[in-house]
Chains A and B, each alone.
Chain A
Amino acid sequence: MTDAPATRTAPAKITMTGVTKSFGSKHVLRGVDLEVARGESVVVIGGSGTGKSVTLKCILGLITPDAGAISVDGTDALRARGKAREALLDKFGMLFQGGALFDSLLVWENVAFRLMQGARKKPKAEAREIAIEKLRRVGLKPDTADLYPAELSGGMQKRVGLARAIAADPEIIFFDEPTTGLDPIMADVINDLIREIVTEMGATAMTITHDMTSVRRIADRVAMLHDGVIKWCGPVGQIDDSGNPYVHQFVNGLPEGPIEAVR
């Protein structure tokens, strides 16, 4: 792993060391080492099925790694239980690939979901107001608030998912393939939104994608995941002359190179 010393002066928000995960005989992660600094936007790139989603889910505790350590703000994320785990999850917001909106709830109830449960429970009217404000932030009109997710287009569902992810002002936001399945114009709009929101909230962001436009728009730093390890990690400005054959092949979409293309 060739780590560029540039940009990273802030303390680490998320640290992964030697994280491995296998599903049966399939070794998805073979020792992932990755550090994300506070306020930084890291994009993890890599082909389909290289374990990008598994990496995010390991940090959130949705999947338990076989070995390795993950810490968030110095807390051991893998051993946090009960209240400690709740406090940990409170720091996160996540935009899922398919939106993962709750289809039995209205749009505003989706956005305000976190504000209506648990420790941060707010009165209904206030939660609705915040939800409408967040919807406006992602470019949706207040009248979408009372629709069901199924009544929205794919692009609008993504926006609602984004509004839900930022509703409780999280310190860390994860984006799982934010532009997949969108037309190029909508993808651009979502990229810009993500960049703006991350900057204005001062949040730490981690995105997984294979869309290079997205990478250039969103990233401060880029990590290339292949064969279950981080092959390269460096500032976004260096991706075109990284000197790493994997990155070179991926960024330029070349059929020939160390990454096997299945035809």
Chain B
Amino acid sequence: MQVFSALQGFLAAIGAAVLGLCQATGRLLMFAGMGVAHVVRPPFYPLELWRQFLKIGYFSLPVVGLTALFTGGALALQIFAGGSRLNAESVVPSIVAIGMTRELGPVLGGLMVAGRVSASIAAELGTMRVTEQIDALTTLSTNPLKYLVAPRLLAATVAVPLLVLIGDVIGIMGGFLVGVGRLDFNATTYIRTTEDFLTTGDVTSGLIKAAVFGFIIALMGCYQGYNSARGAQGVGRATTNAVVSASILILASNYLLTEALFPA
């Protein structure tokens, strides 16, 4: 009898967890749907969009650039070391190029921007929620989803691919610097090999990923901040949740997108 009731309790806990997950997913999807609807329906707030674009895109440049530079350099060293076991050192330029454009550029760039931008969006919107600024927007006949969420979603979806494009270039340059400086590649050959090998598809697939990641970054920041609990603790939790959920969703969606874009 006791075993039965313990089992029942266990199953009930699983059921509650599953229901909770479904509820949270539903709420997030509804929030995302409403946010996107407000992106395409007027009125628009071009000034807000521009501000967010600067904040999310322009001011993330140093972070993304440095990440790409060091990653490209390390990638060249690793490929050289691995390639030398098969006497295939010459693949360094080509693999650095695809590695950066297809995978490392978008994923590492996305993760760095997630840390910077998701957190700041969640903290800003969370504080606005706690200090009733979001309610105040409504009483001033302004839809907070339209004024706060839509510009951030759009700005991040456009800005992150641009950041990643710049990151790709810098990453390949990092590989080039290490390749030429440390691994004795000929500069002209290095550049020519990269050019010959890299296809438009490699770059665009990375940019498609980056656009999805940008959307996820802004969405998780907005969702967590918008629904922040009261007090400093609530805002703190919203910020942490935003970064963690954005990072995990980026990695999960990266796998799914890779499956879709490069079917085995």
Contacts and interface: CB of A to CB of B under 8 A. Distances in A.
A114 B132 contact: no
Interface in B103-127: none
Contacts of B78: none
A164 B140 CA distance: 9
A203 interface: no
A174 B136 CA distance: 12
Contact of B135 (A100, A114, A117, A164): A100
A60 B141 contact: no
Contact of A117 (B128, B132, B140): B140
B133 interface: yes
Nearest to B138: A62
B141 A100 contact: no
Interface stretch (A1-9, A87-95, A231-239): A87-95
Interface residues of A, number: 23
A238 to B, nearest CB: 31
B204 interface: no
Q: Chain A contact residues: over half helix, strand or loop, or mixed?
A: mixed
A94 B141 contact: no
A257 interface: no
A117 B43 CA distance: 9
B125 to A, nearest CB: 12
B131 interface: yes
Contacts of B128: 102
A62 B43 contact: no
Contacts of B131: 98, 100
B186 interface: no
Nearest to B141: A89
A164 B139 CA distance: 11
A110 to B, nearest CB: 9
B133 A60 contact: no
A253 interface: no
A98 B132 contact: yes
B142 interface: yes
A113 B136 CA distance: 11
A96 B132 CA distance: 8
A86 interface: yes
Interface string A51-69: 0000001001110000000
- Of A90, A93, A96, the most chain B CB neighbours within 10 A belong to A96
Nearest to B130: A98
Interface in B121-160: 128, 131-133, 135-136, 138-142
A60 B138 contact: yes
Contacts of A94: 136, 139
B129 to A, nearest CB: 11
B170 to A, nearest CB: 31
A89 B136 CA distance: 11
Given A117-B43, A118-B43, A93 B132 contact: no
B141 A97 contact: no
B7 to A, nearest CB: 28
A117 B138 CA distance: 12
A60 B139 contact: yes
13 contacts: A60-B139, A89-B138, A89-B139, A89-B141, A98-B131, A100-B132, A100-B136, A102-B133, A102-B136, A114-B141, A114-B142, A117-B142, A118-B141
Interface of A: 57, 60-62, 86, 89-90, 92-94, 96-98, 100-103, 113-114, 117-118, 164, 174
Given A60-B139, A100-B133, A101-B133, 15 more contacts: A62-B135, A62-B138, A89-B139, A94-B136, A97-B132, A100-B132, A100-B136, A101-B136, A103-B133, A114-B140, A114-B142, A117-B43, A117-B141, A117-B142, A118-B141
